[in-house]
Amino acid sequence: MLRRTLLPVKSALWSRQMSVLARSVKYTQHGEPQDVLELVESELPDPKDKQVLVKILAAPINPADINTIQGKYPVKPKFPAVGGNECVAKVLCVGEQVKDLKAGQHVIPLATGLGTWTTHAVYNEDQLMAVSDKVGVAEAATVTVNPCTAYRMLKDFVKLSPGDTVIQNGANSAVGQAVHQLCRAWGINSIGIVRDRPEIADLKQMLQCLGATAVLTEAEIRTSDIFKSGKMKKPRLAFNCVGGKSATEVSRHLDHGGVLVTYGGMSREPVTVATGPLIFKDIAFRGFWMTRWSKENYSSPERSKMFKEIFDLMEQGKFVAPTHEMVPLKNFKDAAAAALNFKGFTGKKYILDMSE
């Protein structure tokens, strides 16, 4: 909420003649989101030195955000904490030492743990990255976690070439949807495994429209001859976000020397290694955590290259946001509960809309 107006001083410098009242979703202890989250108002200070004042446009609710609030995630915030790690925002004004950002630009957070479920915030310039306003709000708001996870897993474990194959369970997840789109852009076959459900035909069609080469249920993959018949090259890379029997089944289809990368565990069951493939096909099991990679590569050229490639695809209309629903900020508790319990066929993402 802006109580006054922004007054331009010079073409590159802005001075703030106003006070900003931010509405933020905060919590002071760990617990279930419905019990510990509150909408709190607070006045923000003027941005100084290398600080930037932004108006948040949209901020998604990710599973990791919910787990952080519950106290079940490796990241432990200092209380009081603002929920959320991703967003897209518009720069309102900047401190006098800010060099590369200016009022009106769209930005996304490069750092984690900033707290993005808020209408306004003051961040440091080096915690933000400018993005083109040609990129959709939903795409920009959700880019730093799921698309980047998909990108890194496709790039960092096995050197893939056009015509190669990857296989993944949880193929309708936000990461799964990103994997399909990147594979299509790079000429890689993408095989998706999903749970059976009444809407399975619609789900398969949706994922194939995103770029999946084939989508099979957990029962279908157990009897499919898609690899043995030679219809498709055996996968050299597999992604697991489920765990348990699902991960074991996916690993059985890997080619010699293949790698299974685990980035989630929705079933909360351990990843079990099948002895035969482990010994005779020399398959490897690895783990991936986007937060760790981002911290280790905060200012690396590789990170800049990744964002450029993803944003180029978005601007070309070749990469879209995951299936999602925009939710007014005032309904944050309902959205958090839905994000935790939603069992629909797409597992859609809820995005807090701060435009109200």
Kindly report the backbone phi and psi dihedral angles of residue 34, in degrees, each rounded to the nearest multiple of 5, phi listed first.
Answer: -65, -25
Calculate Rg over the CA atoms of the chain: 21
- Distance in angstroms (rounded) separating the CA atoms of residues 28 and 317: 41
What is the distance, to the nearest Å, from the Cα of residue 196 to the centroid of all Cα atoms in its chain? Answer: 24
- SS3 helix, strand, coil % of the chain, rounded to 5? 30, 30, 40
Alpha helices in 120-274 (DSSP H): 137-141, 146-156, 174-186, 200-210, 218-223, 244-252
| Residue 257, both tokens | 């020397």
Taking the C-alpha atoms of residue 225 and residue 232, their distance in angstroms, rounded to an integer, is: 9
Query: Which residues in 35-71 are b (16+ Cβ under 10 Å) and which e?
Result: ebbeeeeeebeebeebbbbbbbbbbbbbbbbbebbee
Reported as half-sphere exposure (CB side, CA atoms, 13 A), residue 97 has a value of 7
Whether residue 73 lies in the annotated active site? yes
Helix ranges, the chain (H): 33-36, 63-70, 137-141, 146-156, 174-186, 200-210, 218-223, 244-252, 275-280, 290-296, 301-315, 332-341
Q: How long a stretch of residues is the chain?
A: 356
Candidates 342, 303, 304, 306; CA nearest to 322 is 342
Mark 110-132 as b/e (b = at least 16 C-beta within 10 Å).
Answer: bbbbbbbbbbbbbbbbebbbebe
> Cβ(182)–Cβ(151) under 8 Å?
yes
73, 123, 151, 263: the catalytic one is 73
Both tokens assigned to 208: 């194939």
The residues annotated with a catalytic role in the active site are: 73
